[in-house]
Chain A
Amino acid sequence: MKSAWLEKNTFHHSAFKDIERLVGEKERRSLRISVCLPTLNEEQTIAKEILIIKSELMLRHPLVDEIVVVDSGSEDHTREIAEEYGARVFQAEEILPHLETFRGKGENLWKALYITTGDIIVYLDADIKNIHHRFVYGLLGPLLLFDTLKFSKAFYDRPITDKNNIRRPTGGGRVTELMVRPLFSMFFPELTQILQPLSGEYAGFREVFEAIPFPIGYGVETAMILDIYRRWGLDVMAQVDLDRRVHRNQNIHALGKMAFVILKTFCSRLEKLKLVNFSQETFDEMIQYTLVKNRFQPETQPMKGLERPPMLEIPEYREKFHPV
């Protein structure tokens, strides 16, 4: 497998720290930029993310035009705090309310397409403890400075070999290294060059996001990469080293559920592409066990792997963004 893409399309955020240059490109190309933060009970970190992005990339440099929070029904003060610091705040269920309601990160990202106004949308997880505006300008840099790039994805912790060429792990999480990378290696070896395919921070042009389906839950990142790859190829993608990212850790049970949904998403893509043929239907429940008073107790979680269709197929969206 060639690794030309890895060398050509991998950047470090510092390459884009001249924010005025990015603003100039944005203005030259008459683009609008939206930042979207999907939330569920993020009162500890949401204010800081909004504050820093607004202060650095809206007030000091007019790079970002709007910050939108799409909330899945937080029970803490997330929405109130986000409003206080000037974000546009929506509850996911209030967007396109006639559609059946689902709850999940992918659902929020998909619905954000309807209420944001940007030509480029930057998606950031809302639980980043060490938020810095590099998370935004780093992802925007490749899209604004290279005409061929349509989608950029974050990776962290400088996983590339260091100055002395000492080998280091790529910094992917457990689900990436134990499941996604083996699957990519088996079916789409080119995609293994994406160092952290599950990172929750990415940016892209609306024309890309509106044309692909969005799984409503954890499968959204994997599906996005596979669908963009199938439709436009790897060369429209870039990855950006954003240095360190600090966030809360998930326990192994939560990661198990995440892996289940991602695997389901992956299998559905493989079937559509006729790369595999399952002789029987797969099940929609994740079964995990816990030890309670010396007895193993099963916990069953229904996980259907639902997906939203490309937003372009929604009439209200077409009317709003592509009126005839």
Chain B
Amino acid sequence: MNRVFQNLPGLPEKIKALKDLIITNIVLLGQIPSPTFGEKRRVAFFMDRLAEFPVDECTRDGYGNPIGIIRGTSEGLPPIFLVAHLDTAFKEAADFYYMVDKKYIAGPGLIDNTVSAGVLLSIPMLLQRLKWRPASDIILAGVVQSIGKGNLLGLRHLLKTWSTPIRGAICLEGVELGRLNYYSEGMNRIEIFCRIGRNPVQNLDHRPNAIIILNETIDRLLHIRLPQKPHSRIILGKIAGGHKHGESANEARLGLEIRSDSDEMVRELRSEVRALVADIAQRYKVDLKVKTISDIHGAGLAYNHPLVKSTVEVMKQLNLKPIREPSESELSLFLSNNIPAVTLGLTRGENPHMENARIEIEPLFTGIAQVLGVLAAIDSGVCDEKRVA
């Protein structure tokens, strides 16, 4: 194990010496609006910044993912990926001007996932300051079209077209410090959309109401029997509809996720949802449709996989208590491609998906130390024997 791994408790202080540069990367990046499918300006900035700091190679793949490569000392080893998505859930119109004070940084998209992308940009400088050049090439990948309807398209393309084996990967997320994701459930994210067509024969007062149709749909969804094994859930996450208080709703949409330890069970439940939606559409004679937005296969590392054990050890040395839970983000793509990977949270924060998202500055240095510790572990070979379970 290399010296970075051995000196972990003192690492946050060393990283803190670069506080100004790290926060500047986060703020300058975060102030460029980057809605999913509209990441062009942020990608350009990310590329320029990688080139400035500098990395040994800087490129953009065929899909537009910006990638920086820090060449390792050993030519024969596969590369290690560090990944953060560049898109945020906020449109161009949001107030993207971040606020910084003594303890906090605040602004839209900060937690998901600008802080991670800013940290990714700071990695070359951190390695330089620590005088550490890993044996493997380090691939710094800011991926596009990741969240929501992006459905991880950027990373899907990157992994599909990457020509060499990948030694291991770390996915960076803004919060919470201590988060340790090493498995992902099977997941199907769907949207149910109800539209009431104009029927000249029907009186306005007798036309169906899209909200009531969705209400009926929710009632039926709640009656679906969910097995405890494999552990399966239907999560109703988003709902919207109607235009005015005094007017029957013409349109309404419901967003939900089906999750299960078993991909087979996800497929079964999705069929059941589609069937009940078709039934309601027929019964009420309305346009009620199901659209799959994202489909992710379950995969994972065993709890005793050397990468998981090493990550727990890194966390222990930094006084972090691991919070083990599944994740459906970039992690699932690495795992389903048989690449050992973990997702780590960088700091503590609040209001993750709101315009006033806020992170604490001080814990960020521990979060970065944790990433470097796990990177050192992968570089020392913990992923080289056992692949994904």
Contact = CB atoms under 8 A, between A and B. Distances in A.
B97 A59 contact: no
Interface string B27-59: 110010000000000000000000010000000
B23 to A, nearest CB: 6
Contacts of B102: 47, 77, 80-81, 84
Contact of B28 (A52, A54, A129): A52
A130 B97 contact: yes
A48 B99 contact: yes
Contacts of B27: 48, 51-52
Contacts of A85: 20
- 5 closest A-B pairs by beta carbon, nearest first, are A55-B24, A129-B97, A47-B100, A55-B20, A48-B100
B193 interface: no
B21 interface: yes
Contacts of A44: 99
Interface string A232-261: 000000000000001000000000000000
Nearest to A61: B52
A189 interface: no
A43 interface: yes
B24 A56 contact: yes
A54 B101 CA distance: 15
Interface string A51-73: 11011100110000000000000
A86 interface: yes
B99 A86 contact: no
A264 interface: no
A195 to B, nearest CB: 24
Nearest to B99: A44
A55 B99 contact: no
Interface in A290-304: none
Name, among B23, B100, B102, the residue most crowded by chain A CB atoms within 10 Å (CB to CB).
B100
Given A130-B31, A132-B28, A48 B20 contact: no
Contacts of B23: 51, 55
Which of A44, A47, A54 counts the most chain B CB atoms within 10 A? A47
B259 to A, nearest CB: 39
Given A52-B28, A84-B102, A130-B31, A246 B20 contact: no
A81 B101 contact: yes
A132 B99 CA distance: 14
A132 B28 CA distance: 8
Interface in B12-28: 20-21, 23-24, 27-28
Nearest to A83: B102
Contacts of A246: 97
Contacts of A52: 24, 27-28
Interface string B305-332: 0000000000000000000000000000
Contacts, number: 41
A120 B101 CA distance: 28
B98 interface: yes
Interface in A21-63: 43-45, 47-48, 51-52, 54-56, 59-60
Contacts of A47: 100-102
24 contacts: A43-B101, A44-B99, A47-B100, A47-B102, A48-B98, A48-B99, A48-B100, A51-B20, A51-B23, A51-B24, A51-B100, A52-B24, A52-B28, A54-B20, A55-B21, A55-B24, A56-B24, A59-B21, A60-B21, A60-B52, A77-B101, A81-B101, A130-B31, A246-B97
B132 to A, nearest CB: 20
Contacts of B21: 55, 59-60
B349 to A, nearest CB: 17
Contacts of A59: 20-21
A246 B99 CA distance: 13
A36 B311 CA distance: 46
Contacts of B99: 44-45, 48
A182 B204 CA distance: 60
A320 B27 CA distance: 39
B40 to A, nearest CB: 17
A84 B361 CA distance: 13
Contacts of A77: 101-102
A89 to B, nearest CB: 14
A65 B226 CA distance: 65
A48 B27 CA distance: 8
A86 B97 contact: no
A138 to B, nearest CB: 16
Which of A55, A80, A81 has the most chain B CB atoms inside 10 A of its CB? A55
Residue from A52, A84, A132 with most neighbouring chain B CB atoms (10 Å): A52
Contacts of A45: 99
B101 A86 contact: no
A51 B98 CA distance: 12
Nearest to A246: B97
Nearest to B100: A47
B46 to A, nearest CB: 16
A81 B97 CA distance: 18
Contacts of A81: 101-102
Contacts of A130: 31, 97
A84 B102 CA distance: 7
Interface string A206-239: 0000000000000000000000000000000000
Interface in B79-131: 97-102
A81 to B, nearest CB: 6
B208 to A, nearest CB: 46
